[in-house]
Amino acid sequence: MTNKLALLIILLITGTLQANASMPADLYREPFRPQYHFTPLQQWMNDPNGMVYYQGEYHLFYQYYPHGNTWGPMHWGHAVSRDLVHWEHLPIALFPDRHGMIFSGSAVVDWQNTSGFGSDGEPPLVAIYTYHDSLGKNLGRTDFQSQAIAYSSDRGRSWTKYADNPVLENQGDADFRDPKVFWYAPTSRWIMALAVRNRVSFYSSPNLKDWTFESDFGEQWGSHAGVWECPDLFALPITGEAQSKYVLVTSVLPGGPNGGSATQYFVGEFDGKQFTLDEDLQSTLQVIPGKNRALWLDFGTDNYAGVTWSGLPGEPARRVFIGWMSNWLYATEVPTERWRSAMTLPRALSLHRTALGLRLHASPVGELEALRTASRSLEDMRVEQALDLSAELGGKPGQMEIEITMDTRDSEAVRLRLSNSDDERLDFTIDRNRRVYTLDRTAAGRSGFSESFATVQAAPIAGSLDELSLRLFLDQSSVEIFINEGETVMTALVFPNSPYSQVTLTSDGPVNIRRASIHELKSIWFPDAQQVVGNSDR
Ligand code: FRU
């Protein structure tokens, strides 16, 4: 092991990452390293876990393998943020033990100390996670996944596993994992949504230790092209109405609209025991053999296993979602070495009554505006065929937010291109004829690491095309596109050999730009740096 690596591991185990003179000089400056998305210091990360808000801190745990840059025996890595933008690395929270690896799960603040883990009047934080016993799996058993709990009385800094784990034994289904727990006040019970192969099973508990099966949802609804994972259930108000609905989110692998992993959702009612799909959605989502029918939370290839924060303040509280920004098709092969995988930007979810029915929208949280440094805008410009937006508005190579509101009704196709001096380009196209948005990364940069990577992704156009608003976040090796305030979202990885510096808009007819802005975004790791050294040198 090199000295540098040893030092990194010591830092990881013993505490917070602090800027330190002896740290590798290129840490967080490596090629493709996101500058304002969460990534682990080093090694492999997948799903976000245990997202809970307590005493001013947003906790983010994550599936973590500290000894390699591909998937391995899972731990829970840990970071906290006070603003959802800047992250502080903390020591690993949960290590594998004799019951197995620590798979995905959630965390809650047990305000009423129902678990009895609290002391001195302080509510405990309780994590609910899956044990994955690979030995049992290798022996051909089917009961190798079970649910367990751990608690913390020091704001998540240290964790004690419950002595009587597991708290929910396997019922014989090999896929039995990823518990997401919330407090359901009308029955004074904790509710667990659990992914069980092709459905979500609901369990209830008075104390987080004793669980009773309540019901199953999903076998006849939604996408079943793969196994269901990482569910989440929460109430959301319908925007502009007094009424609320329950939203059930579940990831599916494979079966995504553009291949591989993706996340679907359902809207309905929950009565403390059972989730019932809204009648309006039943014809859209009923399983028809040979078809893959679902409502997708994100149409891009790279947003998986996402869930929402528990315990956010406010009345009603925001529902903030974060996903793993990768895809199991190629996650272990992407061309990064010291670390693998980033999280998506945090997104606020909202429910809207649209012409198509009730739909979930996702928009970047407002806190992200703090990243903007230089911003330039233009207004009321008619574009005949092409506009070099970067020539007009500048922008920081590899690291910018682009906002455009435009009237596209006189064009069949409008294209926003990000490109670099190596003639690599990422094309986002509004294709009016086919009524789709496409995101073409076939010539966007490196792709040879996986046959599945160089694809053209598509999303159906959901709303009106006349006035269209776009918000695009570029961060070295990812783009997140929010169309019409998050009505449609596309998240995708890209690996350009040099950062994209050019932004051009082209069309086959006139386009009226109402307003276009480019915001340069700063690094959360080097907030004062002018230029991210190393990232321009791939
Ligand atoms: C989703 C998932 C979960 C599981 C975890 C293991 O990406 O497969 O179902 O708990 O990853 O790392």
pLDDT digits (tens, 9 = 90+) for 238-292: 999 999 999 999 999 999 999 999 999 999 999 999 999 999 999 999 999 999 9
What is the band of 465 on the pLDDT scale with cuts at 50, 70, 90?
confident
Entry field: residues in the chain: 538
Tell which atom from ligand 1 comes closest to the C-alpha of 105.
Answer: 10
User: How many angstroms separate the alpha carbon of residue 269 from the centre of ligand 1?
Assistant: 27
Q: What is the pLDDT of residue 171?
A: 85
Q: What is the pTM of this model?
A: 0.94
Nearest CA owner, ligand 1 atom 8: 229
Q: What is the pLDDT of residue 443?
A: 98
Q: How many CA atoms lie within 13 A of 81 on its CB side?
A: 19
Closest ligand 1 atom to residue 195 Cα is 9
pLDDT band at 466 (very low <50, low <70, confident <90, very high): confident
Residues 6+ apart with CB under 8 A from 477: 32, 33, 34, 336, 342, 493, 494, 495, 496
Question: Which residues sit with their C-beta closer than 6 Å to ligand 1?
Answer: 46-47, 63, 74, 103-104, 130, 177-178, 229-230, 305
**Mean pLDDT on 58-66:** 98
CA of 76 to the centre of ligand 1 (A): 12
Strand partners, 160: 151
Contacts of 190 (CB under 8 A, 6+ apart): 108, 114, 181, 182, 183, 184, 204, 205, 206, 207, 208
Kindly state the average pLDDT of the residues 152-177: 96
Report yes or no: 458 and 490 within 8 Å, Cβ to Cβ.
no
- The H or E element spanning position 25 is none
pLDDT (0 to 100) of residue 32: 98
Mean pLDDT rounded to a whole number for the chain = 94
User: What does the pLDDT read at residue 538?
Assistant: 56
104 C-alpha to ligand 1 centroid (Å): 6
Predicted pLDDT of residue 200: 98
Query: Which atom from ligand 1 is nearest to the alpha carbon of 175?
Result: 9
Ligand 1 site-directed mutation target among 103, 144, 252, most atoms within 8 Å of CB: 103
Res. 11: pLDDT tops 50: no
**158-181 burial string, b = 16+ CB within 10 Å, else e?**
ebebbeebbbbebeebebbbbbbb
* Percent of the chain with pLDDT strictly greater than 70: 94
Distance CA 400, CA 28 (A): 17
Tell me the average pLDDT across 120-126.
95
pLDDT at residue 1, rounded to an integer: 41
Phi, psi of 133 (to 5 degrees): -95, 95
Each residue's pLDDT tens digit, 348-391: 999 999 999 999 999 999 999 999 999 999 999 999 989 999 99
Q: Please state the rounded mean pLDDT for residues 404-432.
A: 96
Structure tokens at 31: 């090629």
Nearest to 112 by CA among 228, 250, 205: 205
Active site residues: 47
